[in-house]
Amino acid sequence: MAAQTGGSPSGRTHPTGFATPVSILQPLTYSASSCGYCSTVPGARSVAKSSKSYGAWAHALSCEMYKDLLDRGWRRSGAYMYKPDMARTCCSQYTISLDVDQFRPSRGQRQVLTRFAAFVRLGERRGQPGWGPRESSSTMDVEAGGSMTAESSATGSAHPGLPTFEHEHQLEDEAKVARHDNGKGKAKAVEMDWRELVHAADWIDADGAAFARRFEASSALRRGFRAGEAYRANSCTLEPASYTEEKYDLYKKYQTQIHHEPEDTVTAKGFKRFLVDTPLELEPTCSTSYQYGSHHALYRLDGKLIAFAVLDILPRAVSSVYFVWDPDYAALSLGKVSALREAAMVRELEAQGAWEGGGGRYMMGYYIHTCPKMRYKADYQPSYLLDPPTNTFYPWSECKPRLDATASGMTSFSAPPSIYQQQQPPTKSLSMPGAADPDASVGMDEDEDLTFEDDEDLELETDFPNPPPPGCLDPNALPIDVLSEAFVIQRRTLMPLLLSDAWRDGEMNREARELLATVGEAGKGRLAIFFGR
């Protein structure tokens, strides 16, 4: 399969037809920090400053430019932007992207959706499976497609424990009601099944009137319920990222009980810094239901906040940032539920005209092949990994053999196999799920990929490495169009870099070149550099 290129920075027009906003980045230079993936102590980071990256502070960032930066290996943590130096960092972090148009959930993923829908509809008592400490379930969460304000009702009845998978066929039969054989082929029917199954726990109105109509229409659904059962309210709503005590309290409970962080280190300031603050401004899309920008997806059961996801809605992509869930609901695998909802959300954005021509992606952050906590990402196929030297996406099926053969360090997916095999020593395969065993469960939380990159933990290094980090330009040999289309903020005025005082200042000239080398083509015509002095 042919590789896919990352960004498309040549387009300078927002999907709405308006000019793309200027993004303002402040260079923080090349740095080293502790690593959240190397430590064997839960909730701790490595002692050594072994994680190498280039960083910048984003004072303002357009959603289009951020999407292009994601396609060049960048990531944000709050307003702090960073791109790992894949040739020198301790843990190679590959940007992973799911092709949602071609995605079909595995049997295990469909069962998770069914179990959650059955829990909401049939109810459950405390002391039964689904409450209390986690066992071996996977968990992550991010909101997704369909009606973001849909509300559900389900029973609070005395159903004995978590529903078994025998309800799956009943719920899937309901999704087929009034559709039957639409003549559009089996593949279309399967696609509709999983997208409707994602929302099987959602009600359109709180009083259950919409559900009652579906109930009467489906004999299969009627067989799954007993007369006289009451229904619990279930909702998933999307709102701009914001701080509330309710969110912070759940975040603190999650970080201390699941990630074992000391209670005195989980502060409201830190929560705001990493999961509320954002450089992305809300921008209109061609859909009346969605805006580009940073959002929180709130999951409520009987009005109680049981989980929330932090996500960025971008042109042609939904980017997962973090997920927080109530440990009391660990066995429900809320993380898998939300990952599937977010994949469906990309399709919903396409259907509502947020962009044209398909091609939407679910951006799942970084993938580290040697980190067991990352294994769940390979369960979602077809996915692609970003090749560090070329900033080009390659299919997971082509990347995995090379990753398996790499003992340590960066793997290039674009290098010829004969050359690559001579250079890389073999190592034991991790037997990653998603290829040979797409339904395998690894029992990991699907939010544990994120360790916050904290600019306060950085040790700034004055020298930009030579040769430059993979995927970066040479700061001493920048193309003239990259230089001529760059701007700086000087005395509160936007002006071309080449005409600015900064260009004639040795230190600021160096900082500007290093930032432009790392941003590359993605910054042409839409990046303003702010030096903070």
Q: Are strands 23-33 and 527-529 parallel, antiparallel or unpaired?
A: parallel
| Torsion sign across C-alpha atoms 233, 179, 332, 93 | negative
Residues 110 and 224 in one domain: yes
**Residues 390 and 354 occupy one common structural domain:** no
- Asked if 393 and 355 sit in the same domain, the reply is no
**Residue 198 pLDDT:** 87
Beta strands 94-99; 361-367: pairing state: antiparallel
166-184 burial: b if 16+ Cβ within 10 Å, else e: ebbebbbbbbbeeeeeeee
pLDDT of 498: 98
Q: Are 205 and 60 within one domain?
A: no
What is the rounded CA–CA span in Å between residue 65 and residue 172? 40
Would strands 283-284 and 291-301 be described as parallel, antiparallel, or unpaired? Answer: antiparallel
Judgement on whether residues 320 and 419 belong to the same structural domain of the protein: no
pLDDT tens by residue, 221-251:
444 444 334 345 778 899 999 999 999 999 9
Q: Which residue has the higher pLDDT, 451 or 337?
A: 337
Domain annotation covers residue 231: yes
Is there a single domain that holds both residue 237 and residue 209?
Answer: yes
253 in any annotated domain: no
pLDDT at 156: 33
Does residue 258 fall inside a structural domain? no
User: How far is it, in rounded angstroms, from Cα 5 to Cα 364?
Assistant: 17
Residue 210 lies in a domain: yes
DSSP state of 86: T
Q: Is 63 helix (H, G, I), strand (E, B) or coil?
A: helix
pLDDT tens digits for range 190-201: 554 688 888 887
**What's the pLDDT score for residue 57?**
97
Query: Same domain, yes or no, for 522 and 387?
Result: yes
Given 361, 383, 399, which residue is the final one in a domain? 361
Domain boundary among the residues 361, 396, 426 is at: 361
| Cα dihedral across residues 319, 324, 330, 332: positive or negative | negative
Is the pTM higher than 0.85? The answer reads no
In 11-100, beta strands by DSSP E:
23-33, 51-60, 75-77, 80-84, 94-99
Residue-wise burial string across 349-388, b where 16 or more C-beta atoms lie within 10 A, e elsewhere: bbeeebbeeeebbbbbbbbbbbbebbbbbbbbbbbbbbbb
- Given a cut of 80, whether residue 324 has pLDDT beyond it is yes
* Residues of the chain above pLDDT 90, percent: 52
Sole residue written with tokens 């600019």? 455
**Structure confidence at residue 374 (pLDDT):** 86
Which of 204-218, 241-255, 456-470 has the lowest average pLDDT?
204-218
Domain range for 305 is 101-241+278-361
Is 264 among the domain residues? no
Report residue 372: phi and psi, to 5°.
-60, -30
Mean pLDDT score of the chain: 77
Residue 145 lies in a domain: yes
Q: Which of 2-11, 67-76, 216-225, 342-351 has the highest mean pLDDT?
A: 67-76
* Residue 397 in this model has a pLDDT that exceeds 50: yes
Residue 259 lies in a domain: no
Report the domain count for the chain: 2
For 266-312, the pLDDT digits (tens) are 999 999 999 999 999 999 988 888 899 999 999 998 889 999 999 99
In a domain, residue 265? The reply is no
Of 361, 392, 416, the domain-final residue: 361
Task: Kindly tell me if the per-residue pLDDT of 341 is higher than 90.
Answer: yes
Instruction: Verify that 519 and 373 share a domain, yes or no.
Output: yes
Same domain membership, residue 384 and residue 351: no
Same domain flag for 77 and 124: no
pLDDT the model gives residue 480: 97
Do 210 and 301 fall into the same domain?
Answer: yes
23 and 133 both lie in a single domain = no
More reliable by pLDDT, 443 or 405: 405
Q: What is the per-residue pLDDT across 477-528, written as a single tens digit (0 to 9) for each? A: 999 999 999 999 998 899 999 999 999 999 999 999 999 999 999 999 999 9
